[in-house]
Amino acid sequence: MVNTTILFLQTSCVIPQAILLCRNRDEVLPERYFSLGKFGVVVNVISVAWVVFLDVLYCFPVFRPVTPENMSYVSVVLVGLLSIVVIIWFTTKKGKFTGPKINLELMNERRRAALNAELGEEAWEKGQLSQGR
């Protein structure tokens, strides 16, 4: 069961990265203080590929020869859970989920204000700004 936990944890962490790759990161992500620029896509691709590779490895049996007693049932659990989620999505939730209401203008305004305040504090600490100015 440890490999099931690892598989689900890794996969749940990489899903947002895969969504960013599919929806074009620059259009989805707002302006941010820390950005990897063109390397962000490369990092996301490597992360998604690595997790897919590890997910396949975690589905391999631990011992050989494989018998019903020592078979790794991780793949069965994964396919079963994903099937249930997809069925529920298409039968009850598709077209009804709206997501959170986000005021992007307000969020970006506050982000810029925080960034400017941070830069102002750094300049103050370095002695570049004085109280008289």
Residues 122 and 61 in one domain: no
Residues 22 and 79 in one domain: yes
Q: At 46, is the pLDDT very low, low, confident or very high (cuts 50, 70, 90)?
A: very high
Residue 3 burial (10 A CB sphere; 0-12, 13-18, 19+): middle
Q: Could you tell me which of 105, 103, 104, 86 has the C-alpha nearest to residue 94?
A: 86
How many CA atoms, within 13 angstroms, populate the side-chain half-sphere of residue 11? Answer: 15
pLDDT at 54 over 80: yes
Q: How many domains is the chain built from?
A: 2
Which domain covers residue 10, as residue numbers?
2-98
Prediction pTM value: 0.64
Angle at 7 between CA 3 and CA 11, to 5 degrees: 170
Residues 64 and 113 in one domain: no
How many residues in total does the chain contain? Answer: 133
Residues 80 and 69 in one domain: yes
Residues 32 and 67 in one domain: yes
Residues 27 and 92 in one domain: yes
Residues 94 and 131 in one domain: no
